[in-house]
Amino acid sequence: MAYTMKKGGKEVGPASVYAKPHTMSGGPAAFTSVTPPNMSDPANMDMVVNGYSNKRPAPAKTSGIKIRGTGAATKGVMARGPMA
């Protein structure tokens, strides 16, 4: 067991105290680098000017369960969520 330096219930100290990154089978973990999008390209920027965005909004979800007792509903008659 490695020597640990705990202070107030938290582990502090050098990184050599911790285990190296590994998979569940014990092998070394393989990391992949993710390159962020080029934000200097205007097509990649999400700009909002005076309430207008350059990105299209996600389409409205139309599936769901039709609910009863809506009367003169102004906000829709479909319940959209996890229904048990």
CA 43, CA 54: separation in Å to the nearest integer? 9
CA 84, CA 78: separation in Å to the nearest integer? 15
Q: Is the pTM of this model over 0.75?
A: no
Q: Express each pLDDT in 43-57 by its tens digit.
A: 787 788 888 887 777
Q: Is the pLDDT of residue 7 over 60?
A: yes
